[in-house]
């Protein structure tokens, strides 16, 4: 079982970084996307993160 985390820069930028804690794979997405898809090849899974409010980025965890 793997877990993913979503990091949001605290310096005013609205980018989003998704990291697979198990493998250390991470990918950064630019602002402007309400939904981003992160794929970890080593997991073999792809997850989607949807932001309903740019000011309410929330931690996202999913077991796979
Ligand atoms: Zn992984």
- The pTM assigned to this predicted structure is 0.66
State the distance from the centre of ligand 1 to the C-alpha of 6, rounded, in angstroms: 14
Q: What's the CA gap between 31 and 45, in Å, rounded?
A: 23
DSSP letters of 14-39?
--EEEEETTTTEEEEE-TT-SEEEEE
State the distance from the centre of ligand 1 to the C-alpha of 25, rounded, in angstroms: 6
Query: Which of these, 15, 5, 20, 19, lies nearest to 58 by C-alpha position?
Result: 5
What average pLDDT does range 48-64 have in this prediction? 61
State residue 60's pLDDT score. 57
State residue 12's pLDDT score. 60
State residue 55's pLDDT score. 53
State the distance from the centre of ligand 1 to the C-alpha of 5, rounded, in angstroms: 11
Q: Kindly report, residue by residue over 11-51, the tens digit of the pLDDT.
A: 666 678 899 999 999 999 887 767 889 999 999 999 998 87
State the distance from the centre of ligand 1 to the C-alpha of 3, rounded, in angstroms: 8
State the distance from the centre of ligand 1 to the C-alpha of 38, rounded, in angstroms: 10
């Amino acid at each position: 079982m793997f877990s993913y985390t979503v990091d949001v820069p605290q310096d005013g930028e609205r980018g989003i970084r998704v990291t697979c804690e198990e493998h250390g794979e991470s990918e950064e997405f630019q602002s402007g996307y309400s939904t981003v898809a992160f794929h970890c090849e080593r997991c073999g899974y792809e997850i989607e993160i949807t932001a309903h409010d740019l000011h309410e980025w929330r931690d996202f965890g999913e077991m796979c």
